[in-house]
Structure 1
């Protein structure tokens, strides 16, 4: 599988420090702990899968904690769906404590603090999806972290199977453009995660349903540069005050949320090659000023939109 990093040929005294650096660079800055550094062994294979990435880990028991300090000093904007092939992992994020066993898929967000703990050997496949790409597909990304899709459910089996197939495809030498496969796979995984977590929560309140309806309308009209608070309120038959209150309930403003959605869609269009130029991506989501688009994009993601044009898809 792509590039492989392993502790197996290292001296016992070097293994854990080496692995800690691999995790830092491959996933995110965090603090790792093991019962014995001298007995520790681990390996990871890394393959690009279009705009996503697949990693396969075999490891001795270990715990990881990504603290608030790590999030501030080493920001990452990635979402992970992890298919457990063997072993058992305990995960905490967003106040949720879950246990994932062989066959399960657990979900976490590297933009937030989390902890993982495996008390014994484990083997897993992970799919890393940049958060903007997921935000361009789903409204409820923040509700997914710290969740588990069980092996006994259709959605759990589906996502686990898709990750395994993606790993097979990403390791194939004869495929020159992984984007041909990665986009549809991410679409299906996103839909399954959304459906699984939506069905697991109680029925939404009237205000939540209204907010979702308005958000869907806004997402369907990202290309309309004339959208304003007044026009959205009129179209959705709510007052401007109600509109502001609904978004205030999720710690956002309507126009701020709209801009973030536009940026996420532009990011996804560039990363997945649906847009072949920054100009095309910007205009497709309602930005008429390219300089302004470049500034807000860089402020949001830490790099210019042109950077995504240089990212290889295989």
Structure 2
């Protein structure tokens, strides 16, 4: 299931036969989120109780989870089952947790936020009852805002810090958003939520990043050059290589570190720009938007836009014109 699938889910284990509650809960967790193996900390038998609320708006999947202590383990084999290509940002409202990824381990308490990369294995361990708000953020949406997101997993954004308090309030607010919002408003709101999460993590955890290396510098220069040339339909990967003085092979390695390719990044940035044109009512014709964002093939643009956002560009244009 992709993050852009329209879905509203409400689950409470109390309506399920007691002997099936745990299995039903785990099945739903693995359907709504990237697949994980689970272990129950204590044998609770008929006392097991859990609830899930989940909805989607814009590019975000937002879930509220209340459950007893469980160990969630995302293994290499689990990654192969769903090809997870996103980040999850988790705000703990009650309980405590230990999160492990990238050879790091961090403790999470109430009010703290931690991100995990679903493309790599991790452990999320709860030893007692907990309540959690979890955001599913597409990889491209996070990396275009926070280039070092993959290096900042399993680090705690302290809920007592100014940015931690701010980010936590935004995550809680996202969990209360009406998922039936019209497309334009939902997309803008989702984008703003991701902006705040990324900015908060960068502000609070930026000092913990590894020293900048040549690949990071090349990554940022390449992205800046892409941003400056989105409207040019002739702009391509060779243009990027010429501008920053590297070979195609080196450029491919730079983008591979961030889980993408130069071509994919260019396309996503063009799509994001076209979405902004439409969402902000800055265009009256879809063809004009496509041309302004460097798309020479109108049909290809429409298909790619729908695949990325879950709805066709004309739907967003129609909403803005009514």
TM class, shorter-chain normalised?
0.7 to 0.9
CA contact (8 A) 1:271 1:308 kept: no
- 1:148/1:270 CA distance change after superposition, 3 Å: farther
Higher mean displacement: 286-295 or 103-112: 286-295
Would you say how many aligned residue pairs link Structure 1 and Structure 2? 300
Instruction: Select 2:89's aligned residue among 81, 85, 92.
Output: 81
Deviation for aligned residue 1:18: 0.5
TM-score w.r.t. length of structure 2: 0.77
Deviations 1:59-112 (A, max 9, x none): 100111122112112223332111111111111223222221111001012233
- 1:71/1:60 CA distance change after superposition, 3 Å: same
Q: Which residue of 2 aligns with 1:126?
A: 134
Instruction: Select 2:146's aligned residue among 138, 153, 172.
Output: 138
Higher mean displacement: 137-146 or 15-24: 137-146
- 1:67/1:280 CA distance change after superposition, 3 Å: farther
Higher mean displacement: 74-83 or 197-206: 197-206
Higher mean displacement: 15-24 or 149-158: 149-158
CA contact (8 A) 1:50 1:178 kept: yes
Measured in 1, the distance between the counterparts of 2:235 and 2:118 equals: 32
Deviation for aligned residue 1:234: 4.6
Measured in 2, the distance between the counterparts of 1:202 and 1:144 equals: 9
- 1:99/1:149 CA distance change after superposition, 3 Å: same
Measured in 2, the distance between the counterparts of 1:80 and 1:215 equals: 23
- 1:18/1:182 CA distance change after superposition, 3 Å: same
Long gaps (5+) in structure 1: none
CA contact (8 A) 1:107 1:145 kept: yes
1:36 matches 2:43: yes
Measured in 1, the distance between the counterparts of 2:237 and 2:20 equals: 58
CA contact (8 A) 2:114 2:157 kept: yes
1:54 matches 2:57: no
Instruction: Select 1:94's aligned residue among 79, 91, 102.
Output: 102
1:27 matches 2:42: no
Deviation for aligned residue 1:307: 4.5
Long gaps (5+) in structure 2: 1-7
The residue correspondences of 1:254-293 to structure 2 (distance < 5 A) are 257-265=261-269, 268=272, 274=279, 283=291, 285-289=293-297
Deviation for aligned residue 1:308: 3.7
1:114 matches 2:122: yes
- 1:270/1:218 CA distance change after superposition, 3 Å: closer
- 1:72/1:202 CA distance change after superposition, 3 Å: closer
- What's the RMSD between the two structures over aligned residues? 3.6
CA contact (8 A) 2:230 2:270 kept: no
